[in-house]
């Protein structure tokens, strides 16, 4: 068996094309309709610059708008709070994200800052309100976090089955607030039987071998070996690890891809797997919130389209 390599590049193009077409169609009836994403960056990390440029470029390509609020690394928590509150009150902004990690000289509590974002503009799905709704299964009132949402979409599209997760054993390696924990919640409410593994979990290999769907997000290069994978499993690699060679800056996943593809049924590559999906889902979430905020009759609708 050789795994089907699930191209996030191809599936992200599908999502972005659909969003672009939806924006164009909306403008036929509402010519001044916009979908505006505001990205708040503190400092000037080179990796953050790359990620931000990718988001702005993809948004522009499909007719959405992105604006970068770039702030100096000397900013204080109080000043950053004022920037977020101004964006909350700006009627021309539909989505707000704070690029992490913050690159600043002062101590700033990033959880506190993210939680200041208006939940209706929280297109990363990281505020306590959206995270809490997801944890409780209030899916119609939740903005899904972009990386877990992208993972779910890849599973549904690659298998051709929107209900593929239902009844499956799902194992998530990692419990971060951005990927592991929300992925576990999302796949649970799509009716998977979910196990979360972390640094204190014993017998991780045995738990992974039970997984029909294995989601890996721990940040350790090639941590998951082929003999950890159930034959035919759907393996989703969310890892981004820079190789040891400083001249190449090659990116590696958390899964030993070459070995794993001989065992898995489906496998997402790194790069070109989950990463592009995260950007696509961010732009999709922003469009959905723009539609909800800006179109007549949508304002009172508490339910989100997923």
Q: Is 55 a catalytic residue?
A: yes
Distance CA 160, CA 288 (A): 23
134 near 174, Cβ under 8 Å? no
Options 14, 55, 121, 221, the catalytic residue: 55
Distance CA 227, CA 164 (A): 24
Residue 220 CB coordination number (10 Å) = 14
Exposed, middle or buried, 15 (CB in 10 Å: 0-12/13-18/19+)?
buried
Strand partners, 235: 214, 267
Torsions phi, psi of 296, nearest 5? -60, 135
Pick the closest to residue 197 from 188, 205, 189 (CA basis): 205
Just list the catalytic residues: 55
């Amino acid at each position: 068996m050789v795994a089907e390599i699930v191209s996030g590049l191809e599936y992200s193009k599908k999502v972005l094309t659909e969003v672009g077409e939806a924006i164009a169609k909306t403008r036929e009836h509402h010519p001044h309709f916009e979908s505006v994403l505001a990205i708040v960056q503190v400092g000037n990390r080179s990796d953050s610059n790359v990620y931000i440029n990718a988001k702005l470029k993809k948004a522009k390509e499909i007719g959405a708008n992105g604006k970068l609020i770039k702030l100096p690394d000397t900013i204080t928590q109080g000043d950053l709070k004022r920037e977020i509150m101004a964006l909350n009150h700006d009627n021309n902004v539909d989505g707000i994200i704070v690029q992490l990690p913050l690159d600043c000289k002062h101590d700033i509590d990033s959880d506190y800052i993210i939680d200041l974002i208006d939940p209706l503009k929280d297109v990363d799905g990281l505020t306590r309100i959206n995270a809490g709704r997801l944890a409780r299964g209030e899916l119609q009132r939740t903005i899904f976090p972009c990386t877990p949402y992208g993972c779910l979409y890849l599973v549904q599209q690659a298998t051709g089955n929107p209900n593929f997760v239902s009844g499956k054993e799902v194992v998530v390696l990692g419990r971060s607030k951005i990927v592991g924990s929300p992925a576990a919640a999302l796949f649970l409410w799509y009716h998977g039987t979910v196990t979360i593994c972390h640094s204190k979990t014993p017998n991780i290999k045995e738990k992974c071998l039970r997984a029909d769907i294995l989601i890996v997000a721990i940040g350790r290069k090639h941590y998951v070996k082929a003999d950890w994978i159930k034959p035919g499993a759907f393996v989703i690699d969310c890892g981004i690890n820079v190789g040891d060679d400083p001249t190449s800056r090659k990116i590696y996943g958390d899964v030993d891809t070459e070995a794993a593809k001989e065992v898995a049924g489906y496998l997402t590559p790194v790069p070109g797997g989950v990463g592009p999906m995260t950007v696509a889902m961010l732009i999709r979430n922003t469009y959905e919130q723009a539609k909800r905020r800006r179109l007549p009759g949508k304002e009172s609708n508490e339910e989100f389209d997923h």
